[in-house]
Amino acid sequence: MKIKILGSAAGGGFPQWNCNCPNCAGLRAGTIKAQARTQSSIAVSTNDQDWLLINASPDLLKQIRDNPELQPARKVRDTGIAAVLLTDAQIDHVTGLLMLREFARPWPLYTSAAVWEDISTGFPITSILSHYCGVEHHELSLTGQAITGLDFLHDVRITAVPLSSKAPPYSPNRDRPQLGDNIGLWIENLASEQCLFYAPGLGEPEEHVSHYMRRADVVLVDGTLWAEDEMIQLGLSAKKSSQMGHLALSGAGGMIELLDSLNHQGHVPRKVLVHINNSNPILREDSAERAVLTQHGIEVGYDGMEFEV
Ligand code: MLT
Ligand code: MN
Ligand code: ZN
């Protein structure tokens, strides 16, 4: 099973269009050691032809151009994307659906009931798409039953894991958390017996989540912000990381600590960060914060990064 990171940045991408923080300005000026990143998405395939798109980024069209395997060109109108799954309803994870409107059939779309509600009310993409290709909704189980119907993925079992995080600012449920506002995915290759855990929006360390993460061979998780008050310190926003539904990397009880705790009985998962905000100092390859990650055996995901699991 192949997993490709199509976009490794959080909402806004890197650099963000209106941002002149040290990272965004430095990248534009060519004065920092860092690479540009598109907004958050991954894709999974077992035959390099048919892909499950997990999160549909506003940068999807660039991502398709950058990853020619997503366009196998078998007929005059074609795509390698066979179905779409959303882990939450944030703008950076759903807007790309609008770019897929020329599809020849309704899109097989896998979401929780809470995400379906958000993209049918607060941001009614599903009703907009009904005037184009339409969508065929499959509701994800939140009680540990594996997803069915993704037959183009051979010997793969995917299970949704509910996470504590936040519904998007536009959601009618922004301040009324619903189970399934945000999920992680437990992705098992039954042939190789290897597993990956994916969670680009993880707000709190929770035991049922660590339980999966400890058993994973690869964890691809939320690396949005280095510090709880990073956006405030940089004068970018008044919001703390936790208010945005993201567990900051540093500090007591932070993501680095959580990832450290996964090492047990000689098993150490490969640990890779995704959904990285443009303000995060780990984007600078020679920063002190990046060196801390390296000491902890944590990698920083980048667009085009691939895993064989
Ligand atoms: C988030 O996950 O908090 C988002 O990246 C915010 C956004 O899309 O604006
Ligand atoms: Mn996001
Ligand atoms: Zn910035």
Q: 15 preceded by cis ω (within 30°)?
A: yes
Looking at residue 291, what is its pLDDT?
A: 98
Which residue(s) pair with 98 in the sheet? none
Which atom number of ligand 1 is nearest to the Cα of residue 245? 3
Instruction: List residues near ligand 1 (CB under 6 A).
Output: 10-11, 90-92, 201, 244
Cα separation, 122 vs 174, whole angstroms? 10
| Domains, the chain | 2-308 (3.60.15.10)
Contacts of 101 (CB under 8 A, 6+ apart): 129, 132, 133
Residue pair 305/41 in contact (Cβ under 8 Å)? The answer is no
- Of ligand 1's listed atoms, the one at least distance from the Cα of 91 is 8
Which residue has the CA at smallest separation from atom 9 of ligand 1?
11
Q: Is 43 exposed, middle or buried (0-12, 13-18, 19+ CB in 10 A)?
A: buried
Q: What is the pLDDT of residue 264?
A: 86
At 227-282, the pLDDT tens digits run 999 999 999 999 999 999 999 999 999 999 999 999 988 999 999 999 999 999 99
Q: What is the pLDDT of residue 12?
A: 98
What strands lie across the sheet with 270-274, from one edge to the other?
156-162, 183-189, 194-199, 218-222, 270-274, 298-300
- Residue 165, pLDDT above cutoff 90: no
Q: Which tokens sit at 133?
A: 């290709």
Separation CA 249–CA 222 (nearest Å): 9
DSSP string, 135-158: EEEEEPPSSSPPP---TTSTTEEE
- What strands lie across the sheet with 107-111, from one edge to the other? 135-139, 107-111, 81-85, 51-54, 41-45, 2-7, 306-308
- 117-124 average pLDDT score: 98
Q: Within a 10 A sphere around the Cβ of 76, how many other Cβ atoms?
A: 5
Cα-to-centroid distance, 301 and ligand 1 (Å): 17
127 C-alpha to center of ligand 2: Å? 22
Does the predicted TM-score (pTM) go above 0.95? yes
